Every structure is written in structure tokens, then in C-alpha cells.
Amino acid sequence: MEAARMALMAACNAGQEVHLCLSGGTTPRPLYEHLAQRDDFRTLLAEKDIHLWVGDEREAPEDSGSRNSEMIASCFRELPLTLHLWPHGPREVAGPAYEDELKRVRTRAWSQLGKDGDEPEETLFNLVLLGMGEDGHSAGLFSPGDLVPRGESLVRLTEAPTEPKRRMTLSAEALLSAGKIVVLMRGRSKVRRLMSNLFGEARDPIGIFMRDSTEVIALL
């Protein structure tokens, strides 16, 4: 977990306005809880404008315990930062609303960066933290069809193999638009699945994120 914490802290030092995209699930929760309590992170919050985004979400009732947004909010909501959470309700409404918010906030940020006449590098996030499922899915991307670009859309509505099946996720293009990608996973079986993708023996969604600069942190 220390390596993941250091990667997040380094991203927070990237500029005055920082945008982090976080994964859900049980693996990263201890990391978020630990980070939220650290003095060095709280010091950064006093100096930086930090925005936290949620990479993917499940269509599930409020307070169901199934929503990534609620887990991440429970870890960070008491801190002076900006949380961008997927709205409740049908994903056909929540997905486009979240996409609109992302486009609005990032367009404003790019506009501010370009005030000196230089073209800003249009990365959506300073860092994207991803997880991986036993089947090789990542975020809410479960199949090759989920990876196909669809115009300028930054959100996909996808189907998971298990309940809750109705998912909404940032697209592969949106997640790849990051200064840094970190993949955090737990268990030897997931490491073996990842290696199968690296060696071309499998073609799972996680494979698209395996760039030269991607950092993989495996908790065994």
C-alpha cells in the first residue's frame, strides 16, 4: 500500500489543481482511509485544489453498500477537497450527467492553464488508480466491445457478469487520458491473469491500460 500512497502523493504535487480518478472495490479502501488521516496529505489539501473522481459505478439504491461513490465519499468527505460522485438514479440519466460534469470541470481547468498563451496538455486526470477483477476486467469495462471508441463520449453503460449488472463507467479513452496510471490488485490469481495479458495469452480489458508508464502494485 505504501507504493500506492506515494504515487497518489506524487500526483497531488503535480500542479495547483489536481484531478485524481479513484477505483472502487474493497482493495483500495484501506489506502483511502490511511491517506485521509495522514498529516502530509492534509497539508497538501491546504495548498492544492484537489478533485477526486470515481472511475466507475453500479446502478444500485442509495445506502445499499454497493456504490463506489459512497465508499470513496465515506473516506474523504470530511476533508477540504472536491468530490465528484456519480449521481443516484437510472444510469441512462446518471451517466450523461457525470460526463457533463467532467467535461465542464476539465474545460474550465484547461482554459485556466492556457491563460499564458501555451496550449495545455489535455489530460483529464493527473493520476488514474485502477483495480482488476479475477476475469481481467478493469473499472466497469468487461468485454472487448466496451473498449470500442464511441465518438467523443467519455462514459459507457456496460453489463457486469454478476449483480449488480447495470454499470456505468468512464470510457477507456477517458481513463487513458492520464498523466499516470496505477493498477492496484490483490492476490496471485490476478497477477497470473495480468501476466497472461502482458504475454499475449489473454485479451482482457486490463490489457489496454498496460502502457510502458503504467505502474502495477500487487498485494500478495
What are 14-31's pLDDT values in tens digits?
Answer: 888 999 999 999 999 999
pLDDT at 118: 45
- Domain with residue 207: its CATH number is 3.40.50.1360
Asked which of 4-8, 104-108, 162-166 is least confident by mean pLDDT, the reply is 104-108
Q: Is the pLDDT of residue 88 over 90?
A: yes
pLDDT at 123: 84
Average pLDDT over residues 193-219: 95
Provide the pLDDT confidence category of residue 166 given band limits of 50, 70 and 90: very high
Asked which of 55-64, 111-120, 135-144 is least confident by mean pLDDT, the reply is 111-120
Provide the pLDDT confidence category of residue 1 given band limits of 50, 70 and 90: confident
Provide the pLDDT confidence category of residue 112 given band limits of 50, 70 and 90: low
What are 34-76's pLDDT values in tens digits?
Answer: 999 999 999 999 999 999 999 999 999 988 889 999 999 999 9
User: Which domain, by its residues, includes 136?
Assistant: 2-219
Q: Mean pLDDT across the chain, nearest whole number?
A: 92
The structural domain count of the chain equals 1
* Secondary structure of the chain in HEC code, one letter for each residue: CHHHHHHHHHHHCCCCEEEEEECCCCCCHHHHHHHHHCHHHHHHHHHCEEEEEECEEECCCCCCCCCHHHHHHHHHCCCCCEEECCCCCCHHHHHHHHHHHHHHHHHHHHHHHHHHCCCCCCCCECEEEECCCCCCCECCECCHHHHCCCCCCCEEEEECCCCCCEEEEECHHHHHCECCEEEEEECHHHHHHHHHHHCCCCCCHHHHHCCCCCEEEEEC
Provide the pLDDT confidence category of residue 115 given band limits of 50, 70 and 90: very low
